[in-house]
Amino acid sequence: MRKQKASKIFVIACEGDAEINLFGYLKISIHKKLTTDLKPSLRTENLGGFNSQSEFEKEYEDLMKKYVLNDRAKLIQFVFLFDNDLSDSHKIKSFLEKQEHLVTQLDPNIEGFILELIGKTITGNNRTELFRKQCKEKFKKEFGVETHRMKTKDWDKIFGKDCCNINSLIKKNLDLESLVKIIKG
């Protein structure tokens, strides 16, 4: 009997619920268009949010314990999806890249990134709590829902023909291009 070659597993580690929702929407949208059944093995993990590098490192350590002790650890590729609105964001990205993980950052954050796509830029110091709050408030006012509560129909309103599409999303953030390639397989 021939031994089947094990395939790579991608673990998409998202900062929180909003990033999980965005990734889930991208995955569903892209998989609908695929003509092959050879979809990659994707697992999603919620890091539960973090406000500093030290908080992130604790979440990271827990994630590594969960997967790296597995006998298939060599087949796992980690992809981290998180906002770029913390004073430690660049340190976190640098740390992850040194570990040879893929990183996708939404600049300045998921709400601000999507608002920019439709031409509603928020100005100010994007490393402050006030800026994050303004992005969340403006997003909710614009779309009538908070990002962490969004459903497919809400994402369809944003990425449908009325606002913007996934290709423009990728052009705005080249980090997302590698994420989309992983989803496509």
Give the pLDDT mean for 96-104. 92
3-class secondary-structure state, position 104 = strand
176 neighbors 46 (Cβ within 8 angstroms): no
pLDDT for position 1: 47
d(CA 110, CA 148): 10
10 pLDDT higher than 70? yes
162 pLDDT higher than 50? no
174 pLDDT higher than 70? no
d(CA 14, CA 49): 8
Decide the pairing of beta strands 76-83 and 9-14.
parallel
166 pLDDT higher than 80? no
134 pLDDT higher than 60? yes
Does residue 7 or residue 77 have the better pLDDT? 77
3-class secondary-structure state, position 108 = coil
d(CA 137, CA 145): 10
Tell me, rounded to whole angstroms, the distance of Cα 143 from its chain centroid.
Answer: 20
Which range, 8-12, 25-29, 83-87, 92-96, is most confident? 92-96
d(CA 167, CA 172): 9
pLDDT for position 117: 81
The enclosing H or E element of 96 equals: helix 89-98
pLDDT for position 136: 93
Radius of gyration of the chain (CA): 17
pLDDT for position 6: 56
| Amino acid present at 73 | A
DSSP state of 149: G
169 neighbors 123 (Cβ within 8 angstroms): no
Least confident of 11-15, 86-90, 132-136, 178-182: 178-182
d(CA 32, CA 39): 11
Render the burial of 73-90: b for 16+ CB within 10 Å, e for the rest.
Answer: eeeeebbbbbbbbbebbe
pLDDT in tens, 45-95: 999 999 999 999 999 999 998 887 665 667 888 999 999 998 899 999 999
Across the chain, mean pLDDT equals 83
pLDDT for position 111: 93
153 pLDDT higher than 90? no
175 pLDDT higher than 70? no
Name the nearest CA neighbour of 19 among 85, 66, 75.
85
